[in-house]
């Protein structure tokens, strides 16, 4: 099972490979794209991209020199027909540079790649929201080599999909970035924090009224405030516990490390670390954290022992017991407990 991790700068490639990543994925915003379409939206992240095809060529060479694969993200939900044509050309250029695969979400683009660039390996993005074996079979018919499952697919569903996948590889999320909506149906923009940030962490206060437009009762107002407070606490966990780290630098937040043994046993080909826009140190510590658990599993640790080891690495058992950080709460290592003092977003 491979570790697939993000980069946004060429300088990150060598240390990420040294930390234990087997595959790296990146985006690029060619100058020609901006000139032609007057936008930098080549993929779903406006920020955290390489800036030119020249940089992309360097990235391929450096990655291969370090023994890791390089994947290119082209994962917007929808593109116009002219944009699809340009992206097919971009994918072909990436392939000619030696690039290993493109990550795509738009069904139309995937079909165009299958028709006009069958030599390009295609990985179906989680943004495509493929959640079952029938979906995997559909994308297999369009030439997909791998399907990246959305974050909300349960461990049991992953095991069933992997068992029926045929020749298509399966990739599952393992660390960071807990989208609180459904990213395949999300059309918002992830702005920098100074410009408002992602819409899903909006802290706009609510003024509650009943069906007649009158203030709600005192009891109902209290329940609604408690609900809002619980939601903010959940968001705090889903967004990296305030984007904090443990004393040894490991990131808190959405995590599937306790499920590594079961994912490996199911035949999952790759586990994905999210966060192209994250700081370099956070990415490196993420790879180091995942690699430590994967090595323990490869060394023969039982699923229970591997899970306990995963929890011990960050020294924050209460965070794990809460269940709020879990991609796969079905394997939570111990009974959930109430977590006090989680803090607020921001």
Contact 239, 345 (CB under 8 A): yes
Instruction: State residue 115's pLDDT score.
Output: 97
- Average pLDDT per consecutive 10 residues, the chain (346 residues; last block may be shorter): 97 98 96 88 83 96 98 93 96 98 97 97 96 96 97 94 94 88 73 67 78 93 91 86 89 94 96 93 97 97 93 89 87 51 40
CA separation for the pair 16, 23 (Å, rounded): 9
pLDDT of residue 77: 87
What pLDDT shows up at residue 345? Answer: 37
- Which pair of structure tokens corresponds to residue 243? 């984007």
Alpha carbon distances (Å) from 237 to 201, 230, 244? 12, 11, 10
- 9: three-class secondary structure by DSSP: coil
Residue 122's DSSP bridge partners are: 102
pLDDT for 53 equals: 95
- Mind listing the domains of the chain with CATH numbers? 2-180+237-331 (3.20.20.380)
Give the pLDDT confidence of 251-265 residue by residue, as tens digits: 999 999 999 999 999
Question: What's the CA gap between 11 and 334, in Å, rounded?
Answer: 40
Q: Output the six-digit token pair for 106.
A: 């738009």
CA pair distance 104, 89, nearest whole angstrom: 14
> Helices 155-163 and 133-141 sit at what angle, rounded to 10 degrees?
40
Note the helical H segments in 142-279. 155-163, 218-238, 240-243, 260-266
For residue range 90-149, list pLDDT tens digits in order.
Answer: 999 999 999 999 999 999 999 999 999 999 999 999 999 999 999 999 999 999 999 999
Structural tokens at position 313: 């690495």
């Amino acid at each position: 099972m491979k570790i697939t991790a993000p980069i946004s700068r060429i300088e990150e490639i060598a240390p990420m490979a040294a930390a234990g990543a087997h595959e790296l994925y990146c985006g690029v915003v060619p100058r020609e794209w901006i000139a032609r379409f007057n936008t930098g939206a080549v993929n779903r992240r406006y920020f955290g991209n390489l800036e030119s095809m020249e940089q992309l060529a360097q990235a391929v060479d450096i990655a291969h020199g370090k023994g890791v694969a390089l994947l290119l993200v082209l994962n917007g939900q929808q593109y116009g027909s002219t944009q699809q044509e340009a992206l097919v050309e971009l994918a072909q250029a990436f392939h000619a540079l030696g690039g290993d695969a493109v990550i795509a979400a738009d069904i139309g683009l995937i079909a165009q790649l299958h028709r006009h660039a069958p030599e390009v390996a295609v990985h179906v993005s989680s943004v495509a929201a493929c959640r079952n074996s029938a979906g995997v079979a559909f994308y297999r018919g369009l030439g997909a080599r791998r399907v990246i499952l959305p974050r909300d697919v349960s461990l049991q569903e992953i095991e069933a999909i992997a068992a029926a996948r045929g020749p298509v590889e399966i990739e599952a999320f393992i660390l960071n970035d807990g989208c609180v909506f459904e990213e395949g149906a999300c059309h918002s923009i992830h702005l920098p924090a100074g410009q408002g940030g992602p819409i899903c962490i909006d802290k706009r206060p609510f003024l509650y009224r009943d069906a007649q437009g009158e203030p709600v009762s005192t009891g109902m107002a209290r329940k609604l405030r408690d609900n809002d407070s619980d939601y903010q606490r959940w968001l705090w966990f889903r967004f990296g516990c305030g984007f904090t780290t443990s004393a040894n630098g490991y990131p808190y937040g959405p995590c599937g490390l306790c499920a590594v043994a079961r994912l490996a046993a199911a035949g999952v080909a790759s586990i994905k670390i999210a966060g192209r826009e994250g700081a370099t140190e956070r990415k490196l510590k993420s790879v180091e954290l995942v690699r430590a658990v994967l090595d323990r599993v490869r060394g023969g640790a039982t699923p229970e022992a591997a899970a306990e080891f995963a929890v011990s690495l960050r020294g924050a058992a209460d965070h794990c017991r809460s269940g709020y950080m879990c991609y796969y709460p079905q394997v939570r290592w111990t009974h959930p407990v109430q977590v006090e003092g989680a803090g607020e977003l921001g």
